[in-house]
A and B are shown apart, each in its own frame.
Chain A
Amino acid sequence: MKVLYSNITKAIKAKPKIENLCEDLTLIGIEVDEIKSFQGDKIIDFDLTPNRGDCFSVKGLARDYCAFKDKKFSSVTKKSFKGQTKFNKKIKLFAKDACPAYSAVSISNLKLIKKFPNYIKKTLKAAGIQSIHPLVDIVNFVMLESGQPMHVFDQDKIEGDIEVRFAKTKEQIKILGEKNLKLSKDCLVIADEKEPIAFAGISGSLNHSVSKKTQNFLIESAFFRPSIVKGKARRYGFQTDASQRFERGVDFNLHEDALKEALAIIQEIYQVDISNVETIKNKHFPKKKVINISTDDVNLKLGTELKENTIKSILNRLEIKLIKKNKNFLTFEVPSHRFDLSIKEDLIEEVARIVGYDNLPQIKNDPITQHYEKSDYDFINEVKTFMINKGFNEVINYSFLDRQILKNLDIENESISIKNPLNNSLNTLRTSLLPSLATNLEFNINRGQNFLSIFEMGKSFSNDTHTEELNLAGLIYDDEKFKNWNTNQNYDFYYLKGILENLFAEFRIEKIFWKKSQNDLLHPYASADIYIKNKLVGSLGSINPRFIKSLGLNKAFLYFEIKVESLPRNDLGKLIAPSIYPISQRDFSFEIDNKVSYEQIENCIHISSKNFLVGTKIFDVYDGKNIPDGKKKYCI
């Protein structure tokens, strides 16, 4: 909300420096977003929290400021008003609870007798409100000052009487700004005998709005219950100055006084015929809320030792009046402008606000006894630390990406879309971390990197049974022409497999099986699926060459992705004392058929040597000279 500095100083009847004013307002919870110079004055842009509808006006801000500074503040300048003519329409409040009070007045024969005041124009401009018609400008000015939104109709376009009711089935309204809204039955409208003339508390209808040609005017000032206005404008994707105020709550004792204030300004500037102010009020009209609270309640929550009198006088400064007292509690009455106060805690906050949060005590905390558990977060961090020690840099990518990327990789099945994405390149939740890491690779290659070793720990999402799964994925890309002088590391399948074997060993994960991969993202003959016992936990290998181009790359990379949830969390457990005898080693060479796997040979060794075997190590694989076709030699 943008407000002129001079309008605030006028309302508080004092001229504190703008920095001090803003500092004080900030300390009572009214945040200042920005201060800008404007026509020899300053505009202060406030960032109001949604609970403080009462501060949505110059007077509201001034009232809170004066309460904090313990200064007198007179909120309403009651204007007496008498109309010359009789208001000749009937007002029918059908939605009795949604709109329990409605005032209206007719105006005609407008004749300017004075220059239209500049302070009104300046105030509106500072607030970013367009000047539309002098009468509209005046009611908008009064809204900015008092907080009461009002609406000006072209009375000649209203057919018959006025009713306040909920929208009928299929009813529509074309609001200011040419938008056509299909109203639902929970939308409150102001209607004439024919159709809605306003979306209550939100916007007038375009067909009934004033123009230069308008001769007769009708001004509405009403109380609409916040719950009725709440969220309605947003539902249709917009907001107005009126809707913002009504949904937060406008002082229910204000609508008539604000209207009279507007009329007083009109009479100052124009020679004009004004009817009496017609006000209809029903028994649903809100009553002031009362809250019971004790001194102990306040002190227990704040850790303070405030006296009853202090609490009483603080609340009194905020117009929260003590109306009853018994030996257990005090009963306070909440003023009509405070919609946010309904329970004890709300009053406690008011006390704290005025005392000043910085003046509240700091109290050492009592220890809490709760069962300690090792959290998964620790495990995740240990895995991350393992990865960096293996040379991988950690990356963090957005969880959403362009659906097309998933489509290109044939992994868009069961993916979850975002209904309201920020843009189309972020419209779908990722089903794998691969596209994210591949994008990182492309980005870094374009910036001159020819080696990359990265990992990410993040979630993948899908519509099947597991909606979200934490995955660990890593990528290695090596296109380095000039390696460090004495390093000759071959980054291949076995390098990556070695890292994962180390990872499983580090976390004491056993019963790992490596099988030819069924993962279509990977090279069909140079990749493996990883099983723990008989559960698939992930895969590793070279990216399938058919995807290299669509990922924007020229060369393959190594990749793995495993499900973190599927990794057992094995504690260290019992440590076993090693055998006191030294290890003895034997080496064997086998010339075998090409199709025999190392796993098969290792299994044979394990079965035949039972308890004596400490471990096996393959130290040479040979299929060159002197080895017949279709055979290979393994030295173990």
Chain B
Amino acid sequence: MDLDALKANLVKDFQEIVSQEELNQLKVKYLGKKGQITELSKNIKNLPSKERPIFGKGIGELRSLCEDLLDSFQEKIELKIINESLEKDRIDVTLPGTFKSQGKLHPLTITTKRITDFFSSKGYLIEDGPEIESDYYNFDALNIPKDHPARDMHDTFYLDNGNLLRTHTSPVQIRSIEKRGAPLKIICPGKVYRSDADKTHTPMFHQIEGLVIDENVNFGHLKNEIMTFIDFFFGPDTKVRFRPSYFPFTEPSAEVDIMDKKSKNWLEIMGCGLVHPNVIDMAGLESKKFSGFAFGMGIERMAKLSYEIEDMRSLFSNDIKFLSQ
């Protein structure tokens, strides 16, 4: 048999194979010890030396062709075997996945985090203080002396150990000034307590309060901080108004309202003001040198506005159907 005839047989043989066995047989038939290509190559020694290189080259090419065909058919057959076995692995993709329970953060935690994320990105340190406070930190140091009518606004829970449950997060301001001095930029989230319970009040609730102390801090700075925050929290088209109010620890004091987009009513969202010089002095700084602003808001109210919660008390009922939303 000559080279060309062998090549034609080879190509023809490969066209007919369908299984791994046939492929293996072809490998033996052509490339085995007694395979046809092997056998033919032995003829080289009978040829004149001139023709040997051409014949040798031809044999080499034939051998490569056979190897390439073997490889490519090997791949095809393997693929065919896989494809045939896949059918047996058929599953119902609409069955639910293996159950892995995933919890949810409480809406108040999420709301707090949204607020603290904003302020910490602006360089505020996050501070906390004790929930059991003394009269001094909760009231006196905040310019609310005994018998001050403003104490009426705080329905305070008093404890049998002579202390009280803080009625606002403002004591943290004082503790932070005492600890860190000025300049200072802090945000303090936390639980506070007032003796009040109805649809819009719970005896325990959460506040978040910010304080900035530096030289030459003015009302314009406060307005800017609040406006940027509202823009972030409620969206850029929110209508805002500042109106005068009264807190013993700030002067001037303001209340901030936003307009409810649906009802067009003004909703009170926070109190703020320039820190009262008495507070700065009492905390151990000089009010001649330092000024500052403070602002505070109820986290429940912010959550209520974010999630359109009707009844504040549902935030503390801990109904899993509510929490796992």
Q: Residues of A at under 8 Å CB distance from B?
A: 26-29, 31, 49-52, 227, 230-232, 234, 247-248, 300-304, 343, 345-346, 348-349, 352-353, 357-358, 360-370, 372-373, 375-378, 381, 384-385, 387-400, 416-422, 426, 429, 440, 443-444, 447, 449, 452-455, 458-459, 461, 463, 467-468, 483-487, 489
Whole-angstrom distance between the alpha carbons of A357 and B101 in the complex? 50
| Least distance between A52 CB and chain B CB atoms (Å) | 7
Whether the Cβ atoms of A368 and B185 lie closer than 8 Å is: yes
Within 8 A of A (CB), among B62-103: 95-96, 98-103
Whole-angstrom distance between the alpha carbons of A385 and B224 in the complex? 32
Whether the Cβ atoms of B159 and A417 lie closer than 8 Å is: yes
Contact among A227, A377, A416, A418 with B128 in the assembled complex (CB-CB below 8 Å): A377
Whole-angstrom distance between the alpha carbons of A248 and B150 in the complex? 10
Q: A360-B220, A377-B116, A393-B104 are in contact. List 16 more A-B contacts (CB 8 A).
A: A232-B147, A352-B244, A368-B183, A373-B125, A389-B102, A393-B323, A395-B106, A396-B106, A396-B315, A397-B316, A418-B160, A422-B203, A444-B320, A447-B319, A458-B191, A459-B131
Tell whether B306 is near chain A: CB-to-CB under 8 Å: no
| Least distance between B230 CB and chain A CB atoms (Å) | 12
Whether the Cβ atoms of B193 and A444 lie closer than 8 Å is: no
- Give 24 A-B contacts (CB < 8 Å), ordered by A residue: A27-B243, A50-B148, A231-B146, A247-B147, A302-B218, A349-B252, A357-B254, A360-B242, A362-B224, A363-B220, A375-B125, A391-B103, A399-B131, A399-B191, A419-B158, A420-B158, A422-B203, A443-B318, A443-B319, A458-B191, A463-B161, A468-B130, A484-B96, A487-B99
Whether the Cβ atoms of A345 and B274 lie closer than 8 Å is: yes
Residues of the A chain whose Cβ atoms lie less than 8 Å from the Cβ of B152: 50, 234
| Least distance between A171 CB and chain B CB atoms (Å) | 20
Whole-angstrom distance between the alpha carbons of A453 and B127 in the complex? 30
Whether the Cβ atoms of A419 and B160 lie closer than 8 Å is: yes
Whole-angstrom distance between the alpha carbons of A363 and B216 in the complex? 12
Whether the Cβ atoms of A385 and B246 lie closer than 8 Å is: no
Instruction: Decide: A370 near B132, CB < 8 A? Known: A363-B221, A395-B318, A396-B315.
Output: no
Whether the Cβ atoms of A49 and B245 lie closer than 8 Å is: yes
Contact among B128, B218, B245 with A376 in the assembled complex (CB-CB below 8 Å): B128
Whether the Cβ atoms of A370 and B123 lie closer than 8 Å is: yes
Tell whether B223 is near chain A: CB-to-CB under 8 Å: yes
Residues of the A chain whose Cβ atoms lie less than 8 Å from the Cβ of B320: 393, 444, 449, 452, 454
Whether the Cβ atoms of A391 and B160 lie closer than 8 Å is: no
Q: Name the residue on A nearest B274 (C-beta).
A: A301
Whether the Cβ atoms of B241 and A358 lie closer than 8 Å is: yes
Whether the Cβ atoms of A28 and B244 lie closer than 8 Å is: yes
Residues of the B chain whose Cβ atoms lie less than 8 Å from the Cβ of A302: 218-220
- In the complex, the number of residue pairs spanning A and B with C-beta atoms less than 8 Å apart equals 245
| Least distance between A98 CB and chain B CB atoms (Å) | 14
| Least distance between B150 CB and chain A CB atoms (Å) | 5
Whether the Cβ atoms of A301 and B95 lie closer than 8 Å is: no
Whole-angstrom distance between the alpha carbons of A97 and B165 in the complex? 36
Q: Residues of B at under 8 Å CB distance from A?
A: 95-96, 98-106, 108-109, 113, 116, 123, 125-128, 130-132, 146-153, 157-161, 165, 180, 183-185, 189, 191, 193, 195-197, 202-204, 212, 214, 216, 218-221, 223-225, 227, 241-246, 251-255, 274, 276-277, 291, 315-321, 323-324
Contact among A49, A352, A373 with B219 in the assembled complex (CB-CB below 8 Å): A352
Whether the Cβ atoms of A50 and B220 lie closer than 8 Å is: no
Whole-angstrom distance between the alpha carbons of A447 and B324 in the complex? 14
Whether the Cβ atoms of B126 and A378 lie closer than 8 Å is: yes
Whole-angstrom distance between the alpha carbons of A67 and B149 in the complex? 26
Contact among A27, A363, A399, A454 with B318 in the assembled complex (CB-CB below 8 Å): A454
Contact among B100, B108, B159, B203 with A398 in the assembled complex (CB-CB below 8 Å): B203
Whole-angstrom distance between the alpha carbons of A400 and B160 in the complex? 13
Whether the Cβ atoms of B321 and A447 lie closer than 8 Å is: yes
Residues of the A chain whose Cβ atoms lie less than 8 Å from the Cβ of B189: 377
Whether the Cβ atoms of A467 and B132 lie closer than 8 Å is: yes
Whether the Cβ atoms of A303 and B221 lie closer than 8 Å is: yes
Whole-angstrom distance between the alpha carbons of A421 and B197 in the complex? 12
Instruction: Decide: A422 near B195, CB < 8 A? Known: A417-B160, A447-B319.
Output: yes
Whether the Cβ atoms of A394 and B109 lie closer than 8 Å is: yes
Whole-angstrom distance between the alpha carbons of A396 and B224 in the complex? 33
| Least distance between A373 CB and chain B CB atoms (Å) | 6
Whole-angstrom distance between the alpha carbons of A49 and B149 in the complex? 9
Whether the Cβ atoms of B130 and A467 lie closer than 8 Å is: yes
